A and B are shown apart, each in its own frame.
Chain A
Amino acid sequence: MLFKIRTLFDSMAVTPLYLYLFLFLGPSNFSNSPFAHGFPSSSSDTTMHTNNWAVLVCTSRFWFNYRHMANTLSLYRTVKRLGIPDERIILMLADDMACNARNKYPAQVFNNENHKLNLYGDNVEVDYRGYEVTVENFLRVLTGRHETAVPRSKRLLSDEGSHILLYMTGHGGDEFLKFQDSEELQSHDLADAVKQMKEKRRFKELLIMVDTCQAATLFSQLQSPGVLAIGSSMKGENSYSHHLDSDVGVSVVDRFTFYTLAFFERLNMYDNASLSSLFNSYNPSTLMSTAYYRTDLYQRRLEEVPVTNFFGSVMETIHTDAAYRAPSRKTSGRADIKTSPDKMVTDDQIKTTTNSNVLDQSSDQKQADQACPFARLMSSFKNKVQTVEEADSLVNYGLVTMIPLLLLSTLL
């Protein structure tokens, strides 16, 4: 929406009229008033998706919970493969199965009995391990309220353009998830943390994926918009492990995670599979539980959202002709801040002293944009007409009607 308005202005920028408008309203007014104050509550809705984060949590200890660590490491591998870099993955593992004395394959973790894929290879960065994985630390990661000494690598440094994947596995029950052997995270805690994140604009969209028994109950208290939740089982259902590795002597992967991974193994970074296709891939008979999705807080249609929006780092890119004219409001805001020092002087001074200067700049800009200004104008108008139909049309038409007024005022 915001973006569309921006394109409108972009299209107008080629004309000198735009300049006048710019000068008339004043740069600071322009950047702050209509957008920051006009749409304060829905700012993240209107923000571009600019980055991806993943928080992957294994909450259970002990050798017989091997599969939970294998689940988490498999997901870690998948999201890394699909393009989320290590510094944007917070990996929390409550125990170290790889170095457990009972592990027949020291320093290796497998999620399949064929032992083809060692999940605990060289490039695994575990951010929180062992007894560091507590409810407190988990909530601190989500809400970003760390002690000052916590390094950046252990923080979730997301912003309002972030898509976050939150994956949790362990032992759950009705509205709780067990952490380690002593604590539990309740659905209220999770909902509260997500709400705080929303208030602090720490995400644009959040996908919570939980593989525990009665996973659906963990989502019952969520109320923040932009949150999508998938659980492996409904209330009263158990989530089962997929198969037992009779060599290692433990179950190595859970069913829900196994079929999730099976879905992703077919994909690469460039695939366009939608979230709904992922959700539809869960078969209750093979899962032995009913996967549950909570979509009522999520605005977009699942058919239109590629899974790589969350599991990869693929986001919508906007082609712009100018190298440094990023379309997002946020980045443009940054640009404004950067350019502001020479515009800090009051408006009437600018009018007289820097007029030519600005004109020169704009003429330079014109040179750069030279390609075919009128064709661009026409095409962007056409685009606008095609795309702008609903709620924002009123604003656009208002702005369009301002043009003759401005013309009139300049003539006068």
Chain B
Amino acid sequence: MAETEAPRPRQRPIVRLGIFLISHSFSFSVVCCTAGVLALLLLPILAKNTYISENALMPGSANPMLSNQDVLEANRFVKDLIALNSKPRGSGIESQRLIAQYMKDLGAEVNYHKFHPQITQFHPLQFFSSPDSGTVERNISCSFHGVNTVGITRAPRGDGKEAIVLVTPYNSQKIKQAEALSLGTAYSVFSLLSRVTWLAKDIIWLVSDSQHGEYAAVSAWLRDYHIPMFTRLHTVNAETCPDINYLYDVRDNSVTGRKIYDGFKRAGTMAAALVIKVVDRSETFDDNLNIYAEASNGQMPNLDLINIVNYLAVHRQGFRVKVEKLWSLLDSKWLKNLGELFESVGQVVSSINPQWKFGIPAADYTEGIATLASSLYNQALGVPTGPHGAFRDYQVDAITLELSPRASVDKIIRQNDFLLRGGRLIEGVILSVNNLLEKFHQSFFLYLLTSPGKFVSVGVYMIAFALLVAPLPMVAASLYADAINLNSSQNNEKTVADEPGTALRSLKWVNAAKKVFVVHLWGSVVSLLPYFICQIPNRSPTVSFIIWFLLSVLSFFIMFLILASPFSHAKESQLHLREWAILKSVTMSATFIGLCLMSVINFSTAELGGLLLVPMCLMAQPMRRDIRVGSLSTLSRLAYNLVFCLIGFPPVTFVLLKGAFEGFNSINVGDFWCWVESLWAWSSATYLYIGMVHLPCWVLCIHILFHHC
């Protein structure tokens, strides 16, 4: 051909490269997928040390001013709080009064915030938008409300446009020692800050009432903070709820005589928020600090916030800082071996050129992978890991600091020391944030942590994902090209210019696309079904799940009968010899698009989904062909396909993962329903991903697997 057409222009290199890749799509996809998985495993090694990016922060530049005097005051406060437990009546109201009294004595502005926790309900039309306050149902019983106590210290010379928020969740019904300590820590800092001259931002101390969940209280307060409400809810409640009346009655005849403002107090926009929790875990070695950062849909606070907390905790106050890990991974043999392998590779590399820094100790590597896995998992789930998640919905950077003291905090000296260090840590963080001029913006928002001091930025981790999904369009193009070539060669054999043949050829592509479209449409119907199932009263999770499953299957058949039947009688045609190949190619394209879209919304979901979907998509082949050939390779491929299709089914994936981490004995069919319910309650995009990308892709792969050809 080339010899006959002498003046044929050379194709551009990019086109030639494309053709080359498509023609070698098999080896290309094998290489890319392996490289993608390998790159993911290499991430702990490629992680960089964190650094403070924003000049203004200057953590640790000033000496902490929190003194023992503040700690003693805080101790008194803690004692008073715990003493309330022994009182019989209305401990909740009493504790809020006590807290408000202490705040007022510091000269802070105090107000109570009453709220009704939002009822988690599936609203398909309000999936990503936060539910607006108008939807709060009014006819909730009085017992079902919480009261937050809010204290605000104004910056003496600040412009009042910005604020820093401290949050201490506590259960007002029963105050535990650890919770009281967290309140004490915040109190010691708050009392210091009410005296200092250097505040440029107002300080808000939110004592959130966690009897209906830590998150609910904080998110209710944030909602009211940001969305002004002109109807006064408490006046409505005042007639019906004696408890609240009591709270305000007490206010009037309090000792100081100063009134507690019964409206909603506000300060400026929030620069950052710190949620302080103390847990009594009795660590053996050191005082521990756990940092929780993941908010809804895998959003993370600015890395600088984590950096300053980490820096101050490690270098100033001597805490042992941790981020969440998947503990089960730490003991796994293969990870240790992999770590040792990487370590030895690193040693070889550094012996070649000492300049190249590659490889970390095997122990660090396993820790890094465990942290990375937890980071990926929490982000992929899209459910916030603490009350800080509520702040992220308003674009406020927030983290939860979970302090756990070394020994039991009953000993008073230990407790004082713990309060002092915890308080100084928080003071340092607030001082740094106070130095900020703008919001946090210098450092990363898209990152994965591999340890408190190491991170993988978006530019690095995207490589792993890109390598993983790159084969999809290549193999799709190659399959399509093969199918077309095959058909056209057949056509050539029959008649040179077969008009209906070409028409059908293009129609076939449309048919496959139509099928894929129908399946995706079905996927969205399946995602909508829970809305109707939720309307059924008195259902258990198991029942709900079974109903959901049955309805899904039913709707699948209905849809297929109505929409997908027209091409079912064209299948006898000779032209459709490779129909499954075209269907597979379209499926892969759709999956590729879905994964790429998801990677923009929530990278971790896309990465984990890609790990499941890409091998399944790439290998899917009609079962009959494999059986017909019957060689070892085809049979092993068949087995592989069956296993992957089993794993890829979302409920099975869930059960396997849950079993792997928590043990199989506690697994119940209803768990999946509960899990899905939590996903939509947090309006996690993962829910949409499962319904609209993962499930249709899985169904299409099953379809290809059982295709007749």
Chain A residues packing against B (C-beta within 8 Å): 62-64, 99-106, 244, 246-251
Given the interface pairs A62-B56, A63-B56, A64-B55, the reply to whether A102 lies near B434 with Cβ below 8 Å is yes
- A99 CB, nearest partner CB in chain B, Å: 8
Could you say which of A101, A105, A249 contacts B62, with CB atoms under 8 Å apart?
A249
CB distance from A247 to the nearest CB of B (A): 7
B61–A244 CB distance below 8 A: yes
- Is B63 in contact with A63, judged by CB distance below 8 angstroms? no
Query: B196: shortest Cβ distance to chain A, in Å?
Result: 8
CA distance A229 to B422 in the complex (A): 51
Other 9 A-B pairs with CB < 8 A, given A100-B200, A101-B159, A102-B199: A101-B158, A102-B200, A102-B434, A103-B198, A105-B197, A106-B197, A246-B63, A247-B62, A249-B435
Neighbour of A64 across the interface among B56, B63, B198, B199, CB < 8 A: B56
Within the complex, the shortest CB–CB distance from A98 to chain B, in Å, comes to 11
Output the least CB separation between A153 and chain B (Å).
29
Q: A64-B56, A106-B157 are in contact. Are A101 and B61 (CB under 8 A)?
A: no
Greatest chain A CB density within 10 A among B55, B159, B198, B200 is at: B198
The interface residues of chain B lying within 8 Å CB-to-CB of A104 are 196-198
Least CB distance from A317 to B in Å reads 49
Q: Verify if B58 is at the interface (C-beta below 8 Å from A).
A: yes
A249: contacting residue among B61, B155, B437, CB under 8 A: B61
Mark interface residues in B153-171 (1 if CB within 8 Å of A CB, else 0).
Answer: 0011111000000000000
* A102 and B62 contact, CB distance less than 8 A: no
Identify the 10 closest CB pairs spanning chains A and B, nearest first: A249-B62, A101-B200, A101-B157, A101-B158, A246-B63, A104-B198, A249-B61, A102-B200, A64-B56, A102-B198
A249 touches B58 (CB 8 A): yes
Measured between beta carbons, the chain B residues less than 8 angstroms from A105 are: 197
Cβ contacts under 8 Å, A63 to chain B: 56, 200, 435, 437
Whether B431 sits at the interface, judged by CB under 8 Å, is: yes
Q: How far is the CA of A102 from the CA of B197 in the complex (A)?
A: 7
Task: Report the Cα distance A103→B155, complex, angstroms.
Answer: 12
Whether the pair A101, B55 counts as a contact (CB closer than 8 A) is no
Contacts of A244 in B (CB 8 A): 61
B59 to chain A, nearest CB (A): 10
Residues of A within 8 A of B62 (CB): 246-249
User: Which residues from chain B contact A106 at a C-beta distance below 8 Å?
Assistant: 157, 197
A63 → chain B, closest Cβ, in Å?
6
Is there contact, CB below 8 Å, between B158 and A64? Answer: no
Partner of A62 from the list B63, B198, B437 (CB cut-off 8 Å) is B437
* Residues in A whose Cβ lies below 8 Å from that of B157: 99, 101, 106
Report the separation of the CA atoms of residues A102 and B62 in the bound assembly, to the nearest whole angstrom: 12
Please report the C-alpha to C-alpha distance between residue A100 and residue B56 in the assembled complex, in whole angstroms: 14
Contacts of A62 in B (CB 8 A): 56, 437
| Number of B interface residues in the complex (CB < 8 A) | 20
Which A residues touch B159, using CB under 8 A?
A: 101
Shortest B437–chain A CB gap in Å is 6
Query: Residue on B with the closest CB to A248?
Result: B62
Residue of A nearest to B62 (CB): A249
For residue B58, which residues in chain A have a CB less than 8 angstroms away from its CB?
64, 249-250
Q: Which of B387-443 contact A (CB under 8 A)?
A: 431, 434-435, 437
B42-58 CB mask vs A (1 if < 8 Å, else 0) is: 00000000000001101
Using a CB–CB cutoff of 8 Å, the interface residues on chain B facing chain A are 55-56, 58, 61-63, 155-159, 196-200, 431, 434-435, 437
Q: Bound complex: CA of A56 vs CA of B156, how far in Å?
A: 32
User: Please, how many angstroms separate the alpha-carbon atoms of A365 and B11 in the complex?
Assistant: 102
Separation of A392 and B197 alpha carbons in the complex (Å):
67
Identify 26 residue pairs between A and B in the complex whose beta-carbon atoms are under 8 Å apart, listed by A's number: A62-B56, A63-B56, A63-B435, A63-B437, A64-B55, A64-B56, A64-B435, A99-B157, A100-B200, A101-B155, A101-B158, A101-B159, A102-B199, A102-B200, A103-B197, A104-B197, A106-B157, A244-B61, A247-B63, A248-B62, A249-B61, A249-B431, A249-B435, A250-B58, A250-B61, A251-B61
Chain B residues lying within 8 Å of A249, measured Cβ to Cβ, are 58, 61-62, 198, 431, 435
Residue of A nearest to B59 (CB): A249
Q: How many whole Å from A133's CB to the nearest CB in chain B?
A: 17
A62 to B54, CA, bound (A): 12
Q: CB-CB < 8 A to B199: which residues of A? A: 101-102
Nearest Cβ on chain A to B62's Cβ, whole angstroms: 3
Distance in Å from the Cβ of B18 to the closest Cβ of chain A?
Answer: 43
Nearest chain A residue, comparing its CB with the CB of B432: A249
Provide the bound-state CA to CA distance between A100 and B158, in Å.
8
Q: Which residue of A lies closest to B158 (CB)?
A: A101
B196 — nearest CB in chain A belongs to which residue? A104
A244 to B58, CA, bound (A): 11
A100 CA to B157 CA in the complex, in Å?
A: 8
Residues of B within 8 A of A250 (CB): 58, 61
Nearest CB in chain B to that of A65: its residue: B55
**Cα distance A246–B196 when bound, in Å?**
15
**Alpha-carbon distance between A92 and B196 when the two chains are bound, in angstroms:** 30
Minimum distance in angstroms from A118 CB to a CB of chain B:
16
Cross-chain contact A102 with B435 (CB below 8 angstroms): yes
Q: Hey, which chain A residues are within 8 Å of B197, CB to CB?
A: 103-106
> What's the Cα separation between A117 and B571 when bound, in Å?
94
Specify which of A63, A99, A105, A244 lies most central, judged by the most chain B CB atoms within 10 Å of its CB: A63
Return chain B residues, CB-CB under 8 Å to A103.
197-198
The answer for the CA separation of A251 and B55 in the assembled complex, in Å, is 12
B197 vs chain A, min Cβ distance (A): 6
Kindly list chain A residues whose C-beta atoms are within 8 Å of the C-beta of B155. Answer: 101
Complex Cα distance, B199 from A106, in Å, reads 11
- Residues on the A chain within 8 Å of B61, using CB: 244, 246, 249-251
Nearest residue (CB) in A for B157 is A101
Cα distance, A22 to B598, chains bound together (Å): 98
Distance between B539 CB and nearest chain A CB, rounded to angstroms: 57
Q: Which residues of A contact B55 (CB under 8 A)?
A: 64
CB distance from B349 to the nearest CB of A (A): 30
Nearest residue in A to B434 (C-beta to C-beta)?
A102
Give the distance in Å from the alpha carbon of A248 to the alpha carbon of B196 in the complex: 12
A251 to B159, CA, bound (A): 24
Write out the residue numbers on chain B whose beta carbons fall within 8 Å of the beta carbon of A248: 62
Q: How far is the CA of A254 from the CA of B200 in the complex (A)?
A: 25
Q: Which residue of B lies closest to A64 (CB)?
A: B56
What chain A residues lie within 8 Å of B196 (beta carbons)?
Answer: 104
Complex CA gap A101/B199 in Å reads: 6
The closest CB in chain A to the CB of B437 belongs to A62
* CB of B214, distance to nearest CB on chain A (Å): 32
Name which of A63, A100, A101, A246 has the most chain B CB atoms within 10 A of its CB: A101
Q: A360 to nearest B CB, angstroms?
A: 73
Docked Cα-Cα span, A64 to B155, in Å, equals 19
Expressed in whole angstroms, the minimum distance between the Cβ of B434 and any Cβ of chain A is 6
- For A63, A99, A102, A247, which residue has the most chain B Cβ atoms within 10 angstroms? A102
CA distance A127 to B158 in the complex (A): 25
Contact present for B437 and A101 (CB under 8 Å): no
